[in-house]
Structure 1
């Protein structure tokens, strides 16, 4: 269940961060409410993750995948562009998450 909760925490965090951008400084009510709900859900699910996955590993995966997904959301929904060094950096983050999940004995299973 740890990885299911981690996935839900990541998705909720991405929703909250996307809504944060859309809230335009909390001047729009609906996105502002989504920010609060998204972050509350993210931390709730992350708290459940920490019952089975060590905090350092869980946070590395959560933060890393959140960065990558927010870059994708920025490209798709906010008309942002990324240059080649940013692509390389994102690929390194993904590689780090893969290495942690495949090779680390610290990951709770």
Structure 2
């Protein structure tokens, strides 16, 4: 169940972050509301995951790595933002690092 809460936290945080981008520099206030609510729900879901015993280092690492990867990929698709080979390499290294922490039994 803690992984389900974490997955929800990640997906909602990604939506909130993309909503900030969609707000066009805060010129579209509805997106700010979506982002604010999204971040609040995301932090609540992260808290639920932690309260069920997930180690904070693992939770935050997975949350951050997945968030970075998903935001970069979706920003490319939705907003035509650049996604270069070095950026993809960096995202890959972040994911490898998080997997190393997770698989080390922390």
Per the normalisation by structure 2, the TM-score is 0.91
Q: Identify the residue that residue 73 of structure 2 maps to in structure 1.
A: 72
Where is the helix percentage greater, Structure 1 or Structure 2?
A: 2
- Deviation, 1:29, is 2.4
Q: CA separation in 2, counterparts of 1:83 and 1:72? A: 11
- Where does structure 1 lack aligned partners over 5 or more consecutive residues? none
Rounded Cα–Cα distance in structure 1 between residues aligned with 2:97 and 2:5: 20
Q: Is the 8 A contact 2:58 2:98 kept in 1?
A: no
Residue 67 of structure 1 and its aligned partner are, at CA, apart by 0.4
Distance 1:13 1:46 in 2: 10
Once the 2 structures are TM-superposed, how far is the Cα of residue 37 of structure 1 from its aligned partner? 1.1
Residue 13 of structure 2: aligned partner: 13
Aligned to 1:59: 60
C-alpha contact (below 8 Å) 2:73/2:83 kept by paired residues:
no
Question: Scaled by the length of structure 1, what TM-score is found?
Answer: 0.89
Partners of 1:83 and 1:56 in 2: how far apart?
A: 29
CA distance in 2, matches of 1:37, 1:26: 15
Q: Distance in 1 between matches of 2:40 and 2:6?
A: 14
Q: In the TM superposition, what are the counterparts of 1:13-52 in structure 2 within 5 Å?
A: 13-51=13-51, 52=53
Aligned length: 105
Report the alpha carbon displacement of residue 104 of structure 1 after superposing the two structures with TM. Answer: 2.4
Runs of 4+ in 1 over 6 A off after TM superposition: none
Deviates more, 1:36-45 or 1:20-29: 20-29
Distance across 1 between alignment mates of 2:50 and 2:91: 25
